[in-house]
Amino acid sequence: MRFTDRVAIVSGAASGIGLLSAQRLAAEGAKVVLTDVNAGAVEAAAEAIREQGGQAVAMEVDVRCYDQVEAAVEAAVERYGSADILLNCAGGASSRVWGRSEPFHEMPIEVIDWGLDVNLKGAVYFCRAVLGQMVRQESGVVINMGSVDGVTGSWCLDYGAAKSAMIGLTKSVALYGASHGIRSCCVSPGPVLTRPEMANMKTRLGRAADPDEIVNLILYLCSDDAAFITGANYVIDGGRSIGGMA
């Protein structure tokens, strides 16, 4: 029970790594505020956690809208009294989400804007909203979800750019928060079996990651076992970023 009485805010919590992280945090004692643009799915996720004996509330949040982001942080503090952990998990490759296959120079600008806003600006917004509370309480952990594509580059240019910027955001938050007991780390996965097609992406270890392998790292970085770690990017990609993957 590493997270007893700690309050965790998770974006993108209706599915994938965000959902599993929220479930695992709650199972280890955290009070979890699940946020997602999909209101029905995020409420169902929070209800399932409560049915298992955990403490969880859901909020509909579009990370592109600062007012909604700020309201979620304020609700977490009002309900539970603090904001100890922020997981910025909302995101996705714009070309996949929008079902587009054009080359980047022909991609509609609204698709590119979506990619930059959701994958980067949303995380910046959540950091802006939560850091004041963390400064006041003199503690906190921010985990940003990067990607191996932020290390190697990506054919989805806005996605690669945004995920690379998540590393810079992480280092900047670490600098900003260090004197207040606030840590920040980035987790950059390779292919993860949150979607079946991820199994087709090559890695040096010959497989995609099980989602729990990613969440194990996230929870370690959130815990007191990682109390001397901040500003670092953790690539967990089965060796995909080593290079030479045809």
Return the active site residues. 159
C-alpha to C-alpha distance for 168 and 163, rounded to whole angstroms: 9
For 1, the 3-state DSSP assignment is coil
Note whether 18 and 87 are within 8 A (CB).
yes
C-alpha to C-alpha distance for 105 and 140, rounded to whole angstroms: 41
- The terminus-to-terminus CA distance of the chain in angstroms comes to 43
For 152, the 3-state DSSP assignment is helix
C-alpha to C-alpha distance for 234 and 186, rounded to whole angstroms: 6
Indicate the Cα dihedral angle 203, 154, 196, 108, nearest 10°. Answer: -170
